[in-house]
Structures are given as structure tokens and as C-alpha cells.
Structure 1
């Protein structure tokens, strides 16, 4: 069993035990976080759904990320990560929203280096974003971002 599946299993158990639901908003991970959660037995009791918001137009129209924020900061930004997580939480009616946005490579994006990732978390208590710098291939960076999101989700559910 992979580290991702272990983290997902813990997150699903924690959500079920606390009676909380989860929604995802994913850019660079493009559904990996939701998919790994859904691989876990019991996920149907906690996973509301997920939005793959690869394009800024989707971040804006579906997740309600402010257009002016995207225009000024670009998509790889802590405030965008927070807005994505909050948007997923609101649109999918979940207790916890988790988001990923970042640069998987091979080229920099919006002035951010390859490997820069932000994970956003939204709960009733508010939002927070966490910055990471990963190295490796595009799949390596995407996998690391997925693991980071699952770790932050587990923290939010444990808190």
C-alpha cells in the first residue's frame, strides 16, 4: 500500500469518525486527491465531490475565485489556494475544502518556479494556505502535492 493510500485511509477514517465531509479543488493534481480518497473503503460517507480547475476560467466560474486575484497574482498563489478551497467547500456543501495549485513543470508558470505548490484548506474556522517546494519530474511533483494535500486534510480533520 502506497503512502498516498495510507494517508487517504487515515483521512477517510478521521472524517467518518468526526462526521465531517470533504470537497476538493484541484489544479496541478487534476483529480488525484479525490481519486486516492475514493480508492478508500468508506469514502462515500465523507467525500462530497471534487472540482478539477485546471484553467483559471474554471477557478473563477465554478470555484468563485475572484478574477482580479487571478489577474494580479496568477494561479499559483496562497490566496488563490485559499479561495479554491473555500469555493469547493461552498459549492459542494462540505465541512472541509482542500485545494492544490502549483507548477509541475517542465517550465515555470506565472513567475513561480517548477515545484512551487500551494495547498489550501477551508473549514468553518477559516482558510489557510501552505507553501511547498518540491523537486523531481512532473509526476513526482504532482504525487508530492497530492501527499501534501492529504496530510493537510488529515490535520484539518484531526483539529
Structure 2
């Protein structure tokens, strides 16, 4: 559970029995997330990262290096969300802080007022700090990402 201590989720009390306790009060959702992280990172079972509902998304704004474009077609939103929802991670690295770089960026804008847009930083084998080890083939290819770009 060193990863949980390193991520500032748990604290080692150095008491008899090597007790780990939450650093602060923890909600049930946070406890479930912690157990899911344990199952993925320690036990080695891939974990689904997102479960977006394509019907709740109004548009997706893409950024590919210097180029930006948006998609509002429901079938294209569905295609993007299916791939994102299908991504299961097998590892996580601690983010280095601001200034990280990913070759692809997608911001999901939701139809419901009050829900903030969510930006995904996508690399060939990961989303943000979550990744899958795949020596054979990247999960997110440049061709897949570029396939959302409208014809010019």
C-alpha cells in the first residue's frame, strides 16, 4: 500500500500491527476508489477509468498540437466515448505537476448546465496519469484521434 501513502491518501501510524489510516475523513466513494486502485495497481486487474454517457455530451473540443477543432455529431461523439469508456488502465504514475504534455487533448462539454467541461490528456497508451502497458500497439493511435477532424 506504499502507493496510497505516497499519493497522500493514507498515513502510516507506525503503531504495532502497522496500521494505515486515512489522512482525513474518507467518503464511501473515496474508499471504493482506493479499493479499485488497490485491485488494479497491486493485484494487477485492469480497471475502467471512465463511463461517460454519450447522450450527455454536447460537443467535444479537440486539440492536436497547434490545431483545434470540435465535433458535435452524435455518432462521432458516440464513437469517441466508446473508445474512451473501453480504456482500462493497468498502472498509474504520480503526476509531475503542471506543465505535463500529451500529444492529444479532448475537452468534453456537457448538455446539463452546471457540469463543468472535462479535459482528457491522451497519450498513445494512457489518459492523464493512468496508463496501460502495451508493447505491441498503442491504445490511442494518431490515426484514431485525427479521424475526428472534419474534412477541410
TM-score norm. by structure 2 comes to 0.27
Specify which structure has the higher proportion of helix: 1
Q: Which has the larger radius of gyration?
A: 2
